[in-house]
Amino acid sequence: MDIKKIAKQMVAKGKGILAADESTGTMTKRLQSVNVESTSENRLNFRNTLFSSPKISDYISGVILFDETIRQKVSGKSISEILNERNILPGIKVDKGAKKLALSKDETITEGLDGLRERLKEYYELGARFAKWRAVYKISEKDNLPSKESIKANSHALGRYSALVQEANMVPIVEPELLMDGKHNINVCNDVTSMILEETFYQLANNNVDVEGIVLKPNMILNGSESNTKNNPSEVAKLTLNCLKKNVPSGVPGIAFLSGGQSEFEATMNLNEINKVNDSKFAFTFSYGRALQQSALKTWAKDLKDTKSVQHAFEERAKMNSLAAKGKWNKELEKAA
């Protein structure tokens, strides 16, 4: 299948991407937070409960998997087969995590380029049709972060990763995440996000990446979580839309936002506001992890065998975000759910 068609399928109207690619360490923390033991079997059971939800394909176009999950089977079927049967694209997280950037002031560089070509070939054979790589940046006005070196190094890695993914006939999700952490205001977030996106697309062009065959996964423009300033959804929407129109090539088929520490409700509300004012050619949707799974996880922890209640909680969140991806969500629908 053509990567441009896959990219369009990933951001199809009213559908988004489930980020179920938590590393074993992250998933262990999530399970421990609801007092469930983190075993390979429990991790698979929770994820497969979501993947086999009756209405999942109404709202979800693709699922980002972790290395452990894409190799697992349920009743003899691989996870990729289970997703394909529901017309959902399997994807794979391929980065090896953010490690300390040498001699920097608390900045990181995402690793995982070594051997990536060979790993992508194997993942393709395991059923993956898109991949994900996350670059992480933080704002510190005191230390003047992010530094130019951090932005260049991470953007360069995103460019090289994306080229290797397209060479393997898969779609790269390009995720430059500016963390919400910090005391900065929304305008600082806007300026720094613009710098990051500009360098990201410069490096993608340098690496001959076809932007019509990628999906961008950026942060929304928000106040820092320690700024004591509440986000105004209409301001978030206006600044986010303008930032992306200014810095993202029009050929990019779609933008799937990360939730970035927002609550389930905020992530849905802000996505909806962005779509209400969207006057661009971009499809704006979601690629959420915690903001799609948290309610389901809490429900599952009450009774690991109550599959229906878990799936209902997941489907409700997915449905709300599907409506937000069309600009058709409102608070009353949440109350009704």
**Positions marked active-site:** 175, 217
Q: Which two tokens stand for residue 71?
A: 């190799």
The secondary structure of residue 232, as a DSSP letter, is -
Partners of residue 177 on adjacent β-strands: 136
Torsion of CA 60, 64, 66, 68, to 10 degrees: 50
To which H or E segment does residue 308 belong? helix 307-324
Find, among 48, 53, 57, 44, the residue nearest to 89 by Cα: 57
Tell the residue number behind the tokens 């393709």, with chain if given. 124
Count H helices, E strands: the chain?
14, 12
In sign, the C-alpha dihedral spanning 164, 169, 170, 172 is positive
DSSP 71-136: T-EETTEEHHHHHHHTT-EEEEE----EEEPTTSSS-EEE---TTHHHHHHHHHHTT--EEEEEEE
